[in-house]
Amino acid sequence: MKNNTIFIPKKIIGEIISHSLNNDPNESCGVLQGSGVIVSKFHPLKNIHENPQNRYTFDPVEHLNVEKKSDEEGEEIIAIFHSHTHTQAYLSETDVKNALMSGYIQQFYIIVSLVEKTRPVLRAYRISDQGDITEIIVDFDGPKYISR
C-alpha cells in the first residue's frame, strides 16, 4: 500500500470515535499501533493538559508503556491521534509546532472533529520536517459508500 494511505480497520475507527465522544467537551488523545501503513490497535491515552478543552498532552507513563508494548509485539506506533471538540478536522498551527518540537514526524496524524456531534469527521495527515501538511487517504475494510 502506498505511503499516501493509512489503513484503519472499521472496528478501530469506531473505537476512536467512541473515545472522542466519551471525553467531549475535552480533547481526547491516543496512539495507533501497527506496521507500515496498517493499523492494528488503538491505545487511548489520558489527556493530562491543564486546558484539555483546547489542548492535549499524553500521560507520559501511559505513552511509554504503550510504546514498549507495541515494540514487544514487533510493531510500532504509526499514528498519533487527538480530537477537536469545537474546530474542524485540520491540524492547527499548535499541532504542527508540537509535532516539530516533539520530533514525531515519522507518524501519521489522525484528527477527529466533533463540531457536529452526530457526524464526527476523521481525517489523516502527515507533517514534513518543514512543517508542511499533506492529507492522507484513510482506507478501511468493508464496503465504501460514496455520497453524491
Cβ of residue 90: shortest distance to Zn ion, in angstroms?
Answer: 8
All three cell numbers of 132, joined, read 508542511
Dihedral over alpha carbons 139, 70, 120, 7 (to 10 degrees): 0
Beta strands in the chain (DSSP E): 5-7, 29-35, 38-45, 76-84, 108-113, 121-127, 133-139
Does residue number 15 form part of the binding site for Zn ion (CB under 5 A)?
no
Number of residues located near Zn ion, criterion CB under 5 A: 2
All three cell numbers of 69, joined, read 508494548
CA 106 to chain centre: 13
Give the 3-state secondary structure of residue 14: helix
Comparison of 42 and 125: residue with beta carbon closer to Zn ion? 125
Comparison of 15 and 27: residue with beta carbon closer to Zn ion? 27
Interface mask toward Zn ion for 25-64; x: CB under 5 A: ----------------------------------------
Q: Of 28, 32, 52, 95, which one interacts with Zn ion (CB under 5 A)?
A: 95
Cβ of residue 16: shortest distance to Zn ion, in angstroms?
Answer: 14
Q: Of 5, 18, 54, 92, which one interacts with Zn ion (CB under 5 A)?
A: 92
Give the 3-state secondary structure of residue 47: strand
Comparison of 66 and 80: residue with beta carbon closer to Zn ion? 80
